[in-house]
Amino acid sequence: MCFGNVAEKDFIEIWNSPEYMEFRKVYQNRLDVFEKTYGHMGPFTTDRHELEEAEKILKNGLSRNPLPEGCLTCYKAYGI
């Protein structure tokens, strides 16, 4: 996946290109889903039902905002 070459184009031009903006939007959407799912919980939430429900909501939200194809094999996308 390549959005441009800074040796050939200005970085800001690449950063603001529709393709790169769309790429970044996918990740922002995924972060928003995570925040909406877990943002209200404290760091020591132990309510099993609440955690199970949050996992379902997160899985559903992330499935509606899938990783870009070029990122499916990247270890960073899986927290490794």
**pLDDT of the chain, 80 residues: tens digit per residue:** 889 999 999 999 999 999 999 999 999 999 999 999 988 887 787 888 999 999 999 999 999 999 998 899 998 888 78
Buried b (16+ CB within 10 A) or exposed e, 22-61: eeeeeeeebeebeeebbeeeeeeeeeeeeeeebeeebeeb
DSSP for 11-29, written as a single string: HHHHHTSHHHHHHHHHHHH
Q: What's the pLDDT at 40?
A: 83
